[in-house]
Amino acid sequence: MEESGIRTVSITMSAEMTAHVQPPRALLVDFPLGHPMGRPNDPDMGSRVLREALEVLTNPEHDGRIVRSSIWYAS
């Protein structure tokens, strides 16, 4: 997709694995495995994650980087 001019962003919970894969850009969330968009049944948190991912996607400064999310998963 990237080669066709379509930018992509990965949402990840593992910095080590993501660094190994080397996606064009990624948002690292500190959430439990299986919950990349946050707590179940919490659409506000999911929306916040999506907004951060879109910021990573559209900001050329983040190209080639893993950007740590500012969102905390509080139980």
CB 36 within 8 A of CB 17: no
For residue range 1-34, what is the model confidence (pLDDT) as tens digits?
A: 999 999 999 999 999 999 999 999 999 999 999 9
Q: Inform me whether the pLDDT recorded for 74 exceeds 80.
A: no
Per-residue pLDDT reduced to its tens digit, 52-68: 999 999 999 999 999 99
Q: Are 7 and 56 in contact (CB under 8 A)?
A: no
Give the pLDDT band (50/70/90) at residue 75.
low
